[in-house]
Amino acid sequence: MDAQATRLKTTAQIWVGGQEFESREFDLPELTGSQAIAQIDLATVCGSDAHTVTGRRTGACPSILGHEAVGTLVAIGPNGARDALGRDLSIGDRVIWSVTVSCGACDRCLAGRSAKCRTLLKTGHEALDGPWGISGGYASHIHLPEGITLVAVPDELSDAAAAPAACATATVMAVLEAAGDVSGQRVLVSGAGMLGLVACAAARQRGAASVVASDINPGRLELARAFGATDTLQAPGKPQPSSFDVAVDLSGAQPALAAALDALDVGGRLVVAGSVSPGPALCVDPERVVRFLLGITGVHNYEPRHLQQAIAFLMATRDLYDWDSLVAAPRPARELAHLMAPPQGRILRNSITFNSN
């Protein structure tokens, strides 16, 4: 273990309820096993954190929020640290880390559903006084426990592109895996936020015949065209019946879900990933599901392979799409409360750094 590990401290923006944050300093733990500590270079503000502070979804409080970040390893436990491919990591390596921490031994982990581990911990979701208090990205440093997935970030990939990979990009990799082979398929993407743009670009990269993005925001639809959509649909307009082979809902809006389900052709698949907070129930016609051989699948979080796939996808498309343009220039951490407001225009993520005065 690095001799400095036990002397490291972190300065964090602590969510104390409502839309209030307080700056506090903490000692970082002494590392054991294959744990590590990363200095956070950039953290982006996911919409789900904004939902937490506005009360749309519940969250541990007080806590360190933030689950999209990229950082540099500054301390490693005595057993060393390895990335998702099993390669040794060293102090100074730039990495991203998974939203979930799993045990790897329970029935769900062994069945390939580590995102639903029986003892699951989640980055940026844990109580400050819990077993993993220094778990969020809105801090100068983060404690990375055993069971978290680390992925090395190539030098060619910017912090702005890498940070959202830990949530948005990796989740889309899981969504498209659940959707099956989209090569030659007609794909509908409901919701043209960060996840929706990644889904458009990834579906095109995987050979989709067409990709239609649907959203209520005309500006988002224009942006979707720049990130792979072949056509757009202004919601609440509905697509034609039987016009899609695959639909992915990243909006969480009940009308969009209903429209997507109605638009599926025979053998169509609907993947639902945006419904992560309470909302109206979806009415499903079971006869149509049977006669049209439809499949409906839910995706929440992702598996370690999807985080590695996210970085590979960003590397493969970095010359096709301007991923950096979707993230605002970093602001000082003390401005975090203000950055919970949705960004405007072509910006889909605000970002913070503790390396600025």
Question: What is the tens place of the pLDDT at every residue in 132-149?
Answer: 999 999 999 999 999 999
- Can you give the pLDDT at residue 68? 98
pLDDT in tens, 261-278: 999 999 999 999 999 888
Task: List CB contacts of 4: < 8 A, sequence separation 6 or more.
Answer: 74, 75
**CA–CA gap between residue 42 and residue 63 (Å, rounded):** 19
Task: Report which residue type is found at 214.
Answer: S
Q: Which residues of 187-213 are buried (b: 16+ CB within 10 A; e: fewer)?
A: bbbbbbbbbbbbbbbbbbbbebebbbb
Please tell me the distance from the alpha carbon of residue 116 to that of residue 212, in angstroms, as a whole number.
31
Give the type of residue at 319.
D
Which one-letter DSSP state was computed for residue 113?
-
For residue 136, the model assigns a pLDDT of 97
Tokens for 202?
Answer: 């990834």
pTM, two decimals, is 0.95
3-class SS of residue 231 = strand
pLDDT tens digits, one per residue of 172-200: 999 999 999 999 999 999 999 999 999 99
Evaluate whether 158 touches 42 at the Cβ level (below 8 Å). no
Residues 353 and 334: beta-carbon distance below 8 Å: no
* Nearest alpha-carbon partner for 70 in 307, 276, 300: 307
Instruction: Tally the residues of the chain.
Output: 357
Cα radius of gyration (the chain):
20
Omega before 236 within 30 of 0, i.e. cis: yes
